[in-house]
Chains A and B, each alone.
Chain A
Amino acid sequence: MSGAANDVYLVGGSRTSFGRFEGDDQDLAEQAVRGALGDCGLAWGDVEFAAGGTNGETKPDNLVSRMGLTGIPFVTVKNGCATGAVALGTARNGLIAEQREIACVVGYDNHARGAFSASPARYGIGAWYGATGMMVTTSYFALKIQRYLHEHDIDPRTLGYVSAKAFDYAASHPLAWRRTPVTIDEALDSDMVNDPLTRLMFCSPDAGGVALILARGPRAFDLCDKPIRLAAVELRGRRPGSFEVFSPWLSPGVRTSPSVDAAAAAFHAAGVRPQDVQVAQVQDTESGAEIIHLAETGLCLAGEQAAGYLDGDYRVDGRIPVNTDGGCIANGEPVGASGLRQVHEVMTQLQGRALGQQVPGDPSIGFTHVYGAPGISACTVLVAEGA
């Protein structure tokens, strides 16, 4: 099997350990890029196009001062939680539009301890909103899942199942951050942050870097035993009716979601159905987000989640293993790296070389989903061919 000229493949990848990091942000990026190049036997001089992103203050395109001044175009992306996926899509498009062969994608961040604090002015909201304690991301997630559990009659204990699953996956993943197993009851009984969400249901901002190497056309098969085709990358923004962070008001009536739109577009572009997916990553900023996003992406029906967790559907040997590296809950969320961590995990699962628990049965179709402020989502479909 050799790739069609405008098919783009993942041929190499690397991630750092996630967690606390004492050092320069770009140490993480450099470590990831060198690891990804080594993974497919390439050198920086082989890279013809690069895209990278961080939510921090460093300039991703300045990585060339460490890697080598080869004169290639390096596009910088800053799209919040969708940064990694947007960088990935940019690199894919760059390879196709400019008929180049090799691209490097990198995402990294090194966040300070504790929840993000946000400025109302950056979101176009008056100072009163922050001063009265409403500019709080944890309360947004809580308000959203509280309503969702009510509308779909889902047992709140399901939130504990999500955390227990995440920490179980992470316990056997050498590069995950929080690797101590947690029981369902421990998750439910931990310190309440925002009803119904407890401390062990939230991810935390932390540090990490991920890089991927893309190759276009037949070249991919020279570089990698099992290239993974990037069958779709789709980014969508919010439409009327979506329920987003930092919203002093919502419209009544039909709820929409950029996740629904991005997932549908990705499945359409790839010619794949949600029920074909054999390993997936969905944005799990907290346990409730995973529950919501499983349905919004089409991986299950709304209201079905409680039974799904009870039945082990999302475990490694279940119907559709989800967030098999522990997701954001156990890896934390270095914003620039997080979306690429998802793609790296699904890529290695499809190649049969997962760092943690390997999905059995040679899965060949994978899916990733990110979601974030101010109402954006990006999804990818990854396909292993010629198995």
Chain B
Amino acid sequence: MIEAIRTQAHNLLENKEIDVVIGYGNGSDPTRTTPVFIRKPEEVNRLIFDPRCINSLPVYLNKRQGYPKKGWKRVGIIGKGCDIRAITQLIAENQLSRDEVYIFGVPCDGVVSHFSKWDGSLRDDNRATKCSECDVHIPNDCDFFPGERPEVDRSGPYKVSAPQVLNLFNLKTDKRFKFWEKEFERCFKCYACREVCPHCSCNICITDRTTPNWIDQAPHTKGVFGWHLTRALHLVGRCTGCGECTRACPVDIQVDLFNQRMKDVVQGSFGYKSGYSETEKPPLITYMTDDSENFIQ
């Protein structure tokens, strides 16, 4: 499979149809992979794909991460189905236009949940949870696919999040608060959850604004809650559930529990699934004059 992608990437780079391929390469340890930027056709053999390829690469298509400052006109990017959903969402939010990217879709059986759990094979006990509820093992939009791309019916019923999400949100408010207070004790606001997110695209994040100081900057209870709740709310209806925020958290706080819950709420209230359509706008960044809520009229 990767051979076909390497050949295609080689041809496109040689014909200068794309300026770079953002893909996965071997990392500094046998259990890890790392994002690579391939600019020369002869470097395409560095590209790999296997269940260690956890990273969501569309983060590099985010303007905040320097794109397209580098002078790239068209970017080739290797995408698992979930990553391509993130790209679609960026396009829906006018952060990117479809002709700026060339998507190499890869069929994916799931990725490992954490690099420390990789021992050479992917099983149920080390597969990331997001992969078990995934309906884009075969990507739904790409410019190149190795081999024949089977048609997949994605109209089936929406799969709600893992049971622990619901269990947590069914707790009484004070218990739920205690749970998060305990978890957030460890947070020191390194903002890894923000930086790995393909959808955190503000040039200046609200937490970095100091006049006025909307959210306390210091990592005490109030400052940490302020940050995480704001982050969760800013991603409502936009998060595509890649789970990078939880994976990147150096103190292992499962911050994507918020996002998973919000995903269920948005689906229930608006019937909206993020990352499947380039034209349909996320419900919370649009409005209708015939909205059933009268406060908006």
Q: Do A and B bind each other?
A: no
